[in-house]
Copies of this chain bind each other. A is one copy, B any other.
Amino acid sequence: MSDDFFATDTHSTGRPDGSGIRDLTITDRWNTPLQKPNGGYILAVMLRGLAEEVSAGGGSDEPMVASITYFKASVPGPAELHASVMRAGRRVQTGEAMLMQGDAKIAHLVASFGHKEGGHTQELGTPPALPDPDDCVDAWGDDGKPAMSIAERMDYRLAAVPGWVTGKPSGDPTAEVWIRLAGGRDSDVFASALLVDAFPPPIFELGHAGSLTIQLTVHFHGTPAPGWIASRITTRHVLNGYNDEDCELWDSTGRLVAQSRQFAMLVTN
């Protein structure tokens, strides 16, 4: 067994019967403080499985855009991914997949795939203005990592320890953070699906206890260059107990590799 936990834990095996059902195991290595598997990990598992089904059908395995709706927290253990191709166009191929554990629907994914090469590029955004990772601090300051297994799988570097970590929420629900898989394993496009949801939500800076993601949409822009990923996470709208959360991932060459938005339900103290 490899110690590349990301590759191991996002693997699923297609059944030879052409049913589109894939078998997999959700591990306990990506748990949040609620001791449930992280939503970005669930997206990565589902997207990688759906990519294999779409590409087996003659389509591309390169995700362009994915939307996941979360129904119920998963539990570590066996699961089935029920995948199907909805439409195989020339430039874009779209599939959907439902993650099941027993009779329970865990999450539903729709994703479009296609090979993007060439084409016009004009970047009007800018990457986070973070100090060099070596000049940054770990997210958790002197308190040590919190009791969640995903913190063992990820490396984080920030200009300063976030206010909420030290019990002093800043009032500004934004975060800029270097992020990578622990030990520096290079990210692929499926790791981007994890990384957009792998840092604690910035609504902690508003003093809220957390946020449960209902829906997450990600735009993908290919394989990141090796190295740290600069992530910018922002909440701007908290309305009637629900909040948005935007995330951008920029690779070490300053190129945007993913952009995401969540619709989430606020957890109040």
Contact = CB atoms under 8 A, between A and B. Distances in A.
Contacts of A86: 69, 71, 98, 105, 108
Interface string A147-187: 00000000000000000000000000100000000000000
Contacts of A22: none
Interface in A205-255: 206, 208, 214-215, 217, 219, 221-222, 235-242, 244
A261 B263 contact: no
Contacts of A240: 116-121, 221-222
Contacts of A108: 86-87, 94, 96, 110
Contacts of A266: 119-120
Contacts of A217: 67, 215, 217, 261
Interface of A: 64-65, 67, 69, 71, 86-87, 89, 91-92, 94, 96, 98, 105, 108, 110, 112, 116-125, 173, 206, 208, 214-215, 217, 219, 221-222, 235-242, 244, 256, 259, 261, 263, 265-266, 268
